[in-house]
Structure 1
Amino acid sequence: MSDYQALMARCEARLAQLAAQAPIKTTPLAEKLEAEGISRRDFMKWSALTTTALALPLQFAPMVAKAAEVADRVPLIWLHMAECTGCSESLIRCDTPTIDTLLFDHISLEYHETLMAAAGWQAEENLEHALEAYKGQYLLAVEGAIPTANGGHYLTVGCKGHTGMEIIHETAANAAAIVSVGTCAAFGGVQAAAPNPTDARPVDRVISQPVVNLGGCPPSEKNIVGTLMYFIMFGKLPPLDMFNRPKWAYGARVHDNCERRGRFDAGEFVETFGDEGAKEGYCLYKMGCKGPYTYNNCPTERFNHHVSWPVLAGHGCIGCSEPNFWDTMADFETSLGRRELHSLDKTADFIGGAILGATVVGIGAHAVASIFAKDNKEEQE
């Protein structure tokens, strides 16, 4: 049996198991889609696009559709730690409902401090009930870093005054899978930037269970929903890179798929914001773009109904999906030049520092050579 056949068999068994369970929600997904004017054809197109995004063969598209329909069998607990709620905003802030936002609503969202109507003691009871009723079954999503200094008391949540450390240990203990949503939860974010007085840490440095890291400030809603869909389909975590990010979303550099890549190769760079090069869509590398050092699918997935992303809008990538980017990628509008890179062209195996150094130098040399080539061409003309 081939790997894909084994994966398909696993998916079929998983979906059959979920379909046999009683739904937690009462309204089928088809009715929700119809109420919002989303046709079955649109839904199947979404399924095909999601299948492609997850790097699966198109034969899995009907299974993606089925997984979306039975998603109401999967309880979801979403925690807010030290963060700004921007990751939740990335998912739900749309001018009109999309299949992604409807699917997020269709999943049995048992606890989400921003979206739930309950507050105070009632909210605490909702969380306690979900932890007990769905022990070993729920998917745990965490948004935000975990302050650990002073016994974790830099972050207390709820009427009982539990620390973030207490909450994450309690909820992670019986979770079927754990997803760190956004760079704060995945790598510490701005809370963990130097000097880090609260000793804020990413989720996987506070608990011992496996964690999927969805880097990004914020991550794309496609990366959030896609990861949830993968768990629903297969009942396990997706293949991960060396920083525990899903390979299907973080397997390529921003630089490789950037619409300005051709300008980089041609040596056409923006020199100052607002100059003629900026108006013509020249490369932003000299203005501090960290695209060559950053792994994410921003150029292909974009934000706000696939409308745009920072580089298309005119500002360089700041490397927000990389570990410690607040410290290692700053200044955000200055080119890095030669530096030690922790992620550039690495695989799961260790790659020697000399090779990394050569790779970085290669990028710098490529940029410099492109600039000289352009200058020589202009002199000849």
Structure 2
Amino acid sequence: MAKTLDFTDMSPRTVKIGDTTTSFTLICGNNNMATDLTNATSITAKIGNASGYLKSATVDPNSLTDSTADQVTVTFTADLMTSLPAGSYAIEVWVVDSTGTSIYPSDGSTGFTITNNIQSTNGSVITTITFDDFVKELNKAASTIKGEKGDKGDKGDAGPQGEPGPQGVKGDKGDKGDKGDTGAAGPVGPQGAVGAGLNVKGTVNDVSQLPTTGNQEGYCYFIGTDLYVWDSGAWKNCGSVSPNLSNYVTVTDLNNGLSTKVTDNKNGTISVNGTSILPANENVIGRIDGAYTDMNDIPMGWWYLNGWADLSKLANWGLPQDIYYVHCFKTTYSITVAIQIAYGNNMYVRTMCNNVWTTWKLLADDSKVLHLSTGDTASRPTGISTGYQYFDASLNKPIWYTGNNWVDATGTTI
């Protein structure tokens, strides 16, 4: 798209030297069609001659009106006229807007003439030079003039110490030195705090059932024979631990079942919670044959119950169908205390205090009881059952007896 720059019909094309009231009015166009310049951010008229660019004049975009949106007025002020002798000149208009810079005209330039007034003489543009450029040229000229060699001057005072130089390039690695003597052994450090240990919380069927909240370091669950331990915020499978402890009675259930303590005094008597009583003898052994209709009321002694008998008339029975020996101990103080132990294929126990009976608790045999002891490696017990747990103070961790070897929580033989 060709850009054009033309004088308006009424605009002068000539100005005399010293005339500061004459203005040129130019029309900016594209393909000879008027161009709206009201969106311009800056407008500059640039003047030159055959020697090149000379001067420029700024046009305020706010001076444009709707009727003259394509017209630029250049006023020849005293400042603009200075140093411009009579002669032929060219003019361009540079317009900057949001799309970039447009130069009018795009081909060649538009000409105008400056003429002498009656008292002027022809001149030329006065060449100017900055002071720094003047000094530079003067020094350049002086360097070409070589004078007589002068006498050697006195030795000057020592100058101040210069700034440290940059760090040098890193040198090559030196040869390896001889091995030094072994240092003396350091002092023994303080004994560390006792670890949290393992806390078996129970058993689950698979990993998805392991709890995700409320866990603490050392909590563990069995999935089959695999032991999962809560460690550093996650469940860690420590491998298979023999034997399978999934059916073991918990310590809590065992303590609840044995809340009433029975002790054999080894002298023909027994103690219940520290009180010595006379156990049953042959004179008080009998059979439940209908004389007693309430399990809570049977007298002290051994009682044999026919497992195939009709139990529908026996109140507070509470045991699975089986053949049992029921051993009952009773004593009366300010309150009544009793304990019943039922022996069959399994052993059950329940207690009574102040006429309130607990429910029957199934007791585990020795192979299913959690054994706990501690000592160093050299003091590990012998003659023990499979599943025995021992805290090895030398290793500072719990280990288990498999029947053949001792293993840790990961199943590694220790």
TM-score > 0.5 by shorter chain: no
What range is the shorter-chain TM-score in?
Answer: under 0.3
Q: Which has the higher contact order (CA 8 A, sep 6+)?
A: 1
Which structure has the bigger radius of gyration? Answer: 2
TM-score by length of 2: 0.19
Structure having the higher strand fraction is 2
